[in-house]
Structure 1
């Protein structure tokens, strides 16, 4: 016999009621029928789940284990059922999108919201967002990964939206601001700022610096406004995605030789609505962001093979 959710409900009912007879009454079953069902469940699980005497039924150690799992699985199954009903009864598809820090989320939301209801959730943690999609709490996750890293593992379906170089944001008074491109080796004495994340970017940056012959000094891992301020006052050089829109007082500068690359990824739940259309809108949002960046647009002319994926 395969274990089913209804079997876990029986086990939970006996434990909550404290006896088989009370559980049978609550479940609307005859006591002999419930007793027979409980014995079949115990045989399937390999041992007794309750110690039963004239005082009632008390869980055994095996019973405690099964109950602990049941109290997690049964609410989760109910939540899934309720969410599936809401999804099926929705008058038109809506999109729940999670994202890490990135410059194309706004464009994607703008495009989708023109025709559908959209809700968003942001986090620095790719792992958190991926888990929320796997659990059905989000439909899509817009995130990124270093150019040489693999696609995230799990049950999500992934699409590469773009492959972009990593550029620098520097103060307009910084010597690098006057350059078409700057070598990473020429920045060995700089302090750095970058937005946080739980991927491998920090390791990739350290390796790129090692190849350039130095170990990076101070690295401020902080939010976008703080990164921007540190660059504006000349306190740090900011590592940014090439589609980033530079704030006043800042200049975006390409790195010579593309020592760091970034892949924009769109992950989705297998049941996510209108996947092909959402993917196409994400790619168009990226193209729009490229057009708004003269530095990146000019760089792409000299460096084919990057930018929005076909």
Structure 2
């Protein structure tokens, strides 16, 4: 059980429905429903009675809510006091931060950011935390377990905990198709999404609304996609190389033997890269430097990619 689970329970109770809570949290309703089911299993019982009128706490849910509404503000107060104390204690240093704890979802930024930090501050302690969940990384920022998070959202969707964390958009990228080199469109300049209607699909896992946005884009193209095979990046690449599926990828994906990156005509899907931090943490003082590193890292990835449109000057 983690603090983010208690925040989810409170959000559902405050909104009165899972759908409204999902919108407030920047998640897809099915993703929040799955989280709630895991939370209820952890507590050993149903926390909400759900019907067409919404979601109402069960007696067990009332107990959890009563404790959560005391615990969460207390933890938040502790975090703020600790951040202020740590910031004061570190105030004489070069930038007030002796080390950097950076979480990241799959994307082209983490390597370049760490490389630039290590070059600029060789003595700084650097640690990274990989995750498939932007919400998990946001919770770790709130709990002061990370200093920065590098995440992505679908198009213009709100990042998690937008009201409590500071997020900066690094870049907006078109989503591309990753095709086996034997595919009829493997050497095309671009491919219509409708031309891939009969394909089996693969994608890396994640939260947010991307799956729903992909299904909506396919519907606009006139078809319903087959269920997506979720796998890590290497697994998706292997599935595509084997000729069994096509995948969704970022234009900065570096092609390897047996696969081709092909842009989707008309850019039916977009992916927004963001960097985030807690506004009252010591990391806030060095956020301009990290923003520059993230933007420079993305620009470098674009220069190495033949499929990404030029960045605006």
TM-score (norm 1): 0.69
2:115 pairs, out of 102, 110, 115, with 110
Shift of 1:155: 0.9
Q: SS of 2:236's equivalent?
A: helix
Asked which structure has the greater CA Rg, the reply is: 1
Q: Structure 1 stretches (4+) deviating beyond 3 angstroms?
A: 65-92
Q: Secondary structure at the match of 2:289?
A: helix
Q: 1:123 aligns with which of 111, 117, 131?
A: 131
The number of equivalent residue pairs is: 237
Whether 1:192 aligns to 2:201 is: yes
Structure 1 residues 286 and 136, CA, compared in 2 at 3 Å: closer, same or farther?
A: same
Single out whichever of 214-223 and 267-276 deviates more from structure 2.
267-276
**C-alpha distance in structure 2 between counterparts of 1:176 and 1:198, whole Å:** 30
Give 1:244 shift: 1.5
Shift in CA distance, 67/121, structure 1 to aligned 2, threshold 3 Å: closer
Residue 137 (str. 1) matches residue 145 (str. 2): yes
**In structure 2, how many angstroms separate the alpha carbons of the residues matched to 1:102 and 1:132?**
19
Shift of 1:232: 0.7
Structure-2 change in CA distance of 1:173 and 1:159 (3 Å): same
Change (3 A) 1:253 1:74: closer
Distance 1:69 1:236, change over 3 A: closer
- Residue 276 (1) aligns with residue 300 (2): no
Query: Is the Cα–Cα contact under 8 Å of residues 200 and 244 in structure 2 kept in the other structure?
Result: yes
How far the C-alpha of 1:148 sits from its partner, in A, is: 3.2
Q: Work out whether residues 79 and 144 of structure 2, in 8 Å CA contact, stay in contact via their aligned partners in 1.
A: no
Tell me the equivalent position of 1:99. 104
- Where in structure 2 are the equivalents of 1:35-184 lying within 5 Å? 85-90=85-90, 91-92=93-94, 93=97, 94-116=99-121, 117=124, 118-152=126-160, 153-184=162-193
**Whole-angstrom distance in 1 between the partners of 2:73 and 2:269:** 43
Question: Counterpart of 1:295 in 2: which secondary structure?
Answer: coil
Please show how residues 203-282 of structure 1 align to structure 2 within 5 Å.
Answer: 203-270=212-279, 271=281, 272=283, 273-282=285-294
**Contact kept in structure 1, 2:199 and 2:226, CA below 8 Å:** yes
2:6 is aligned to none
Q: Give the structure 1 partner of residue 7 of structure 2.
A: none
Match of 2:12 in 1: none
Q: How much does 1:218 deviate?
A: 3.1
- Unpaired stretches in structure 1, ≥5 consecutive residues: 1-64, 302-306
Alpha-carbon offset, residue 89 of structure 1: 3.8
Shift of 1:277: 1.4
Change (3 A) 1:216 1:87: same
> Cα–Cα, structure 1 residues 73 and 209, in superposed 2: closer, same or farther, change >3 Å?
closer
Partner of 1:294: 306
SS of structure 1 residue aligned to 2:260? strand
Deviation string 1:64-111 (CA, Å, 9 cap, x unpaired) is: x99998888778866765665555444442322111111221111111
Secondary structure of the 1:98 match is strand
| Deviation for aligned residue 1:295 | 2.2
Distance 1:67 1:150 in 2: 29
1:185 to partner: Cα distance: 0.3
Write the distance in 2 (CA, Å) between the matches of 1:66 and 1:231.
Answer: 49
SS of the counterpart of 1:132?
helix
Three-state SS of the structure 1 residue aligned to 2:132 is coil
Compute the TM-score of the two structures, normalised by the length of structure 2: 0.69
